[in-house]
Amino acid sequence: MYYFASDMHLKFDGYSTSRATELKAIKWLDMVAEDAIAIYLLGDIFDFWFEYKRVAPKGFVRILGKIAELTDRGIEIHILAGNHDMWMLDYFEKECGMMIHRDEQRITLLGKTLLLRHGDAVGITSIPVRLMNSIFRSKLLHRYFSALVHPNLALKFGCWWSGHSRKSKSISHCFRGEDEYLVQYSRRVLEQDKIDYFIYGHIHCAEIFKLNELSKAIFLGEWIESPTYARMDSNGIKLFKFQ
């Protein structure tokens, strides 16, 4: 089996709400580990993550320890950078055994071609927003920021920024079908390539949308209010709620 989840948004907020989400995510990892070949986390697992060369944010040792336990057992765990945890270096890889991906991934599983993407950088038409997105994903900015800004200030800024981003939109999102920019992006890709499954996070919808007779777009939902995940086997991909 192959499993997919995204948008847990674990926050450095005194562990009030995030501790419950973290413990639920650990229970989910224990459950899927019974038959998982690989687990894919498609971004925004943390509400903010900024990693220095020798410093990583304090907290969430339970879920990171669980991930390390599973990778030590031979289960592949992949993480794609989202817009809230894009500033990863190699901590997850070296300490937890995860495989880090910073760009869109195209993979083949069970004879099917999958396109995996968090989805935040798709469909941005505003020039200021596109510029800001490029700046925040700049390796040069990351290097200068980590050299000039104390970790305490970086974390304080990151928590403010992620909170501001959260307030700008509701947690849940009403799926808009053909009007979703990720659906439109998928259709543009299909004009050039054959993709069986597009799998996205970011928009906090749990939906399976049929693009044509052969292709589907799967939106993984979120873990803040209604934890959902996808499972892939020889019969295809299905979405599930996790209680």
CATH number at residue 62: 3.60.21.10
Q: Write the CB contacts of 169 (distance below 8 Å, at least 6 apart in sequence).
A: none
For residue range 106-146, what is the model confidence (pLDDT) as tens digits?
A: 999 999 999 999 988 776 555 555 555 565 566 666 665 66
Least confident piece of the model among 18-27, 65-74, 212-221, 227-236 = 18-27
- 156 or 226, greater pLDDT: 226
Q: Is 78 helix (H, G, I), strand (E, B) or coil?
A: strand
Give pLDDT tens digits for 37-77: 999 999 889 887 777 777 777 778 899 999 999 999 999 99
Handedness of CA 23, 66, 173, 135 (dihedral sign): positive
Which residues sit opposite 99 in a β-bridge?
A: 78
Lowest-pLDDT choice from 23-27, 77-81, 156-160, 177-181: 156-160
The one-character DSSP state at 50 is: B
Q: What is the pLDDT of residue 132?
A: 56
Say whether pLDDT at 168 is over 50. Answer: no
Report yes or no: 230 and 218 within 8 Å, Cβ to Cβ: yes
Q: Which of 10-24, 77-91, 153-167 has the highest mean pLDDT?
A: 77-91
Q: What is the residue type of 85?
A: D
- The pLDDT of residue 36 is above 60: yes
Question: 201 is written with which tokens?
Answer: 């996070």
How many CA atoms does the CB half-sphere of 10 hold within 13 Å?
23
136 to each of 143, 158, 198, how far by Cα in Å? Answer: 11, 12, 25
DSSP 130: H
Q: Is 124 helix (H, G, I), strand (E, B) or coil?
A: coil
Mean pLDDT of the chain: 85
pTM: 0.86
Structure letter (DSSP) for residue 98: P
What's the domain count of the chain?
1
Per-residue pLDDT, averaged over 171-199, amounts to 91
> Which residue range forms the structural domain that includes residue 208?
2-241
Half-sphere exposure of 230 (CA within 13 A, CB side): 29
Measuring CA to CA, how many Å separate 207 from each of 26, 61, 62, 149, 197?
23, 31, 29, 40, 13
Q: 184 or 13, which is more confident?
A: 184
Radius of gyration of the chain from Cα atoms? 17
Does pLDDT of 228 surpass 80?
yes
Look-up of token digits 């599983």: 109
